[in-house]
Amino acid sequence: MSIQAVVRVCWRPVLAVLAGVALAAAFPPIGLAFLAPLAVAAITVVAVTSRARGAIGLTVLSGLVFFLILMKWMSNIGLDAWVALGIFCGVWFWVVGLGTWAVRKLPAWPLWVAAVWVLQEALRDRIPWGGYAWGRLAFSQGNAPDVGYAALAGAPLVTFVVAVCGALVAYPVLVRWWPDAVAHRSDGRAWPIAAGVLAVTLWFAGLLVPLPTEGQTDSGPATVTVAVVQGSVPQIGFDAVPARRAVLDNHVAATLALASEVAAKAVPAPQLVIWPENSSDLDPFRATDAATAISSAADAIGVPILVGAVTVDPKNRNQVLNIGLVWQPATGPGDYYVKRHPVPFGEYLPGRQLLSRVISRFQRIPYDFTAGDAAGVLQVGPARLGDVICFEVADDAIVTDAVLGGGRALTVQTNNATFTDTGWGGSAQPEQQFAMAVLRAVEHGRTIMVAATSGVSAIIAPDGTIVDEAPMFAQDELVATIALRDSLTLADHLRGWPELLLALAGALAVGRGLLPRLRRPQAVRPLPEPDGK
């Protein structure tokens, strides 16, 4: 077989693999956000120039490569967990493959390609068991110019913009080499050039969206001084979970150290303190020593602490709750928020009886977490905070509910130690989650305080600017005066409607593209290669 024949056969699979690699590199820890639209462009070219089955198969190949690289941190749990989750997420790219192929002949097809990406994410984020939202295109854009679009219509619009830009980049390539593959204007060379210019312009136009920075006094003080405590953990990886008392002691010690610094006037006195998820895996309602330790920290600092705790469900003693608990000095525990979206196979086991017999590792998850049913809005000292816990930051509705419920700032309590190691890329999971928090700050115009056991802990301004950040694997306390806000962004007002409408548009466009072919089946000839042979 000649080299030319090998290239003709292999270029699509190779480009599909490279697209998956490029898309993964758009996310932290590499974080080259501009690679996301370029990856979409490559996937578009592969799908459009293939037959329907090839478009699906090659796009799924891109998805598998993308997710297996993106979520390498899942290998800390086990090789099987990493591969299974990567396959589950990657297979959803069949929607992109079929959808892109189906809409390629429709007028304005780059818009429909982008809507198909939104449709794929909307389905994957919900099916099954509440879905898995990791790896959305929008979550790669926390440090990119187009992140401003989040304030207009949330993460779905950012995904849409990234995908439109990618499809527009693919447009001149397809028109030049495969003019019969897509619908296009054939009355001159200006249209392909205009498509490229439009892609760049659209990506940078996100900088024009006005973003707030100042606090407001509509329903309380405009600012509050907060402290975010990162107590760190004695171990990382899967063995970080059992070290419950040591983790609690670390956060108590860090808070006592902060109290000493405040007494010495080395740092400003905070008006509230945020601890991360799992900072007390010992139930403070049942373990007297844990309650005493938390009270010692709250009494020393003299302000409320929002504690991330695991407690027994009072309605079902065989289940537990993952909560954000307000702990007052002198009086102790008060109001709390129960995590609404427990993670399947992490915090509860679908089909527990069967799976725990087949996979012994699941026996290390002895209890299922009960899901809460109310938005996470808590009064912590002078601030009314919206609280989300760990992976909930990826859930559009849960974060929006916390803002609409009255949260004047947001806090993300998280424990990423299980998925973290000290090797290259070992901080990928917390860095990827942190990028989501940056997008959420812009989306809702709210300060966000990320409190993590081992990192990344940070304070993010309402415009997405990083105010302060703690190093990974270190015990640290961040103290800053933050803005409290009441105004809602357009994204808050629109809630889930942009995603619904864009996903519906994508589904209808796919149906419109497939309908004529279903009615009049005919032999499909492969498209000619770029050299016309």
Q: Which of 413, 369, 370, 405 is nearest to 388 (CA)?
A: 413
Look-up: residue for tokens 């619009």?
A: 157
Query: Is residue 339 annotated as a catalytic residue, yes or no?
Result: yes
**Sequence-separated contacts (24+) of 316-322 with Cβ below 8 Å:** 316/370, 318/367, 318/368, 319/367, 319/368, 319/369, 319/370, 320/367, 320/368, 320/369, 320/370, 321/369, 321/370, 321/372, 322/277, 322/347, 322/369, 322/389
* Cα–Cα distance measured from residue 8 to residue 528, given in angstroms and rounded to the nearest whole number: 10
* Cα–Cα distance measured from residue 497 to residue 291, given in angstroms and rounded to the nearest whole number: 44
Beta-carbon contacts of 399 under 8 Å, excluding residues fewer than 6 positions away, are 386, 388, 392, 393, 410, 440, 443, 444
Alpha-carbon distances of 329 from 181, 265, 293, rounded to whole Å: 68, 20, 12
* Cα–Cα distance measured from residue 385 to residue 271, given in angstroms and rounded to the nearest whole number: 13
Q: Which of 400, 227, 417, 234 is nearest to 303 (CA)?
A: 227
Amino acid at 42: A
Look-up: residue for tokens 């390629």?
A: 104
Query: Is residue 277 annotated as a catalytic residue, yes or no?
Result: yes
Query: Is residue 390 annotated as a catalytic residue, yes or no?
Result: yes
**Sequence-separated contacts (24+) of 120-126 with Cβ below 8 Å:** 120/92, 120/93, 120/95, 120/96, 121/156, 121/159, 122/156, 122/499, 122/500, 122/503, 123/92, 123/95, 123/503, 124/89, 124/92, 125/394, 125/395, 125/396
Angle (CA) 301 302 303, round 5°? 95
* Cα–Cα distance measured from residue 268 to residue 480, given in angstroms and rounded to the nearest whole number: 8
* Cα–Cα distance measured from residue 320 to residue 314, given in angstroms and rounded to the nearest whole number: 8
Instruction: Pick the catalytic residue from 89, 121, 165, 390.
Output: 390
Instruction: Pick the catalytic residue from 89, 165, 339, 347.
Output: 339
Helix H segments across 230-387? 244-263, 288-301, 352-358
Query: Helices then strands (H, E): number in the chain?
Result: 15, 13
Alpha-carbon distances of 169 from 82, 172, 191, 201, 209, rounded to whole Å: 32, 7, 12, 12, 23
Phi and psi based region of residue 416 (left: phi greater than 0; alpha: psi -120 to 50; beta: remaining): alpha
Q: What's the token pair of residue 218?
A: 């509509």
3 state SS of 504:
helix
Instruction: Pick the catalytic residue from 89, 121, 165, 277.
Output: 277
Burial 408-426 (b: 16+ CB within 10 A, else e): bbbbbbbbbbbbbbeeeeb
Residue 368's DSSP bridge partners are 319
Residues catalogued as catalytic: 277, 339, 390
